Amino acid sequence: MSCLADKTIVVIGGTTGLGLSAAHAFVRAGAKVFVVGRNAANVEKAIDLLGGGSDGLCGDATDSGTAAASIAAAVNRFGAFTGLYHVAGGSGRRMGDGPLHEITDEGWAKTMELNMTSVFYSNRAAVKWFREHGVQGSILNCGSVLGYSPAARHFGTHAYASAKSALIGFTRSCAATYASEKIRFNVVAPGLVATPMSQRAQENETILSYARAKQPLAEGGIASPDDVDGIAVYFMSEASRGVTGQVLAVDWLSLIHI
């Protein structure tokens, strides 16, 4: 499979979980991949795992300069930049997120910064580079089904849901603005996936029972990161050249309300 043979992709949050799994899929599909993560050891480990067609940088996605520096480094290393996959984000529960009446000021601010402001920084850096160099490109943002399909009993973190909902509006607005320049913006919205972020859910039998009913296509109710990889490869490839402003969910039947 070499549908990404002419692509160079920057993965923000590409050293663990969904991001690392996608980076593997990109490399297998022939792409050059530049991974970005905030833990230096994880960056080095990811580069070793991905092999010679990869490189990386240690940086925090909530730093406004990280994405621009990463794109510049990818271009310097591989001579091109054609796609951005923004995966970085995470639960704000430990920072003070929760139901509206419990969210702290810090919990709201930190959760929004991690899950929405970081996306703004990376997408802005990517679109500026594409426009300055007259290059067509693809930007894929990792959202969540919680951005439009609440699951109040087990996932009542309202700042996180707000950030993921905002991500959809942001992405679709950008898609409309830059379509004439052949710069595409899309969202992949996973349900419950087995990653370090979902450890709490993976260890809770009540949540697992709920997930099995909501995600009948997933083994045991929890999707695997590689269930999302094919979608990421699609959006980074020319197969999706006519697709922009779309939100594609992964194995979460939002119409099933339980």
* Cβ pair 139, 184 in contact under 8 A: yes
Q: What is the pLDDT of residue 257?
A: 61
Please tell me the number of Cα atoms within 13 Å of 156 on its side-chain side: 9
The domain 8-250 having CATH identifier 3.40.50.720: the answer here is: yes
Tokens of 5: 């043979």
Tokens of 71: 């794109």
Query: Catalytic pick from 85, 121, 148, 160?
Result: 160
Express each pLDDT in 172-203 by its tens digit.
999 999 999 999 999 999 877 665 655 565 55
Q: Where are the domains of the chain?
A: 8-250
Q: What is the pLDDT of residue 81?
A: 98
Q: What is the pTM of this model?
A: 0.92
Tokens of 50: 């991905």
Q: Which of 230, 247, 229 is nearest to 185 (CA)?
A: 247
Express each pLDDT in 92-126 by its tens digit.
889 999 999 999 999 999 999 999 999 999 999 99
Q: What is the pLDDT of residue 222?
A: 73
**Least confident range of 78-82, 118-122, 216-220:** 216-220
- Residue 145's region, left for phi above 0, alpha for psi from -120 to 50, else beta, is alpha
Q: What is the pLDDT of residue 107?
A: 97
The reply to whether 160 belongs to the active site is yes
d(CA 224, CA 41) in angstroms, rounded, equals: 24
